Amino acid sequence: EAGVVQSPRYKIIEKKQPVAFWCNPISGHNTLYWYLQNLGQGPELLIRYENEEAVDDSQLPKDRFSAERLKGVDSTLKIQPAELGDSAVYLCASSPSGQGIYNEQFFGPGTRLTVL
Amino acid sequence: GNSVTQMEGPVTLSEEAFLTINCTYTATGYPSLFWYVQYPGEGLQLLLKATKADDKGSNKGFEATYRKETTSFHLEKGSVQVSDSAVYFCALSGGTSYGKLTFGQGTILTVHP
């Protein structure tokens, strides 16, 4: 079974430029998560989707970040414009359902963003 | 809100040494507790979990017991191997973290031959 796929794996951009990250979850997983992982810290949730609906985007900086999950399968996270402080690893995860607290989340390898 | 605190790292051990990585949490209600591991260049993988008080999660020789009285979920392994070198994250789900994982800051483990 294929795991969570993310692309690109690495991205280097100059500040004020836009950038987009793509995630394809495990087939059949209704719940998709985007996490931000700063260096030396644990991941922090940015947004959670149940199918195509964003059910928790309270931590997403909406002035520059946006996300979509059209058709409830793959998802794109966008930053426009990027700032130096956005340099981090962006992780995508999926799980069979967000209902219930026991579900394991399956993580992709992440996209490492460097903003110069 | 919920939070997870891990012991300060990094941790460096010789092969076959005993490992303990401390994890304590603050949460309302009855969260589920997890240990995730991140090997170099890979995504996070679930190592073990426990969903109620006194449960013991175990996998690959690692163990952790859900201690509600001390709000702890310490990770242990009796004899580490070089291949265990990775970053270990304690996490919880539930209470005010419903539907998401709240992670600790991670502990880097390096095992030398």
Do the Cβ atoms of A101 and B45 come within 8 Å? no
Chain A closest-CA separation from residue B1 CA (Å):
14
B104: nearest CA partner in chain A: A42
**Residue ranges of chain B whose pLDDT lies below 50:** none
Looking at residue A101, what is its pLDDT?
58
pLDDT for B78 equals 97
| Cα–Cα distance, A91 to A46 (Å, whole number) | 10
CA closest to B89 among chain A residues: A42
Mean pLDDT of chain A: 92
Interface check for B96 against chain A (CB to CB < 8 A): the answer is: no
Band of residue A83 on the pLDDT scale cut at 50, 70, 90: very high
User: Which of A101, A102, A105, A111 is most worth mutating to test chain B (most B CB atoms within 10 A of its CB)?
Assistant: A101
pLDDT at B64: 98
CA atoms within 13 A on the CB side of B76: 11
Q: Name which of A3, A56, A109 is nearest B99 (Cβ-Cβ).
A: A56
Chain A residues inside the 8 Å CB shell of B103: 42-44
Residue A71, pLDDT above cutoff 90: no
Q: DSSP readout, chain B?
A: --EEEE----EEEETT--EEE-EEEE-SS--EEEEEEE-TTS-EEEEEEE-STT-EEEETTEEEE-BTTTTB--EEESS--GGG-EEEEEEEEETTEEEEEEE---EEEEEE-
Q: Which of A92 and A101 is assigned the larger pLDDT?
A: A92
Q: Are A98 and A29 in contact (CB under 8 A)?
A: no
Is the Cβ pair A107, B43 closer than 8 Å? Answer: yes
pLDDT at A1: 67
Examine the pLDDT at A40 and tell me if it is beyond 60: yes
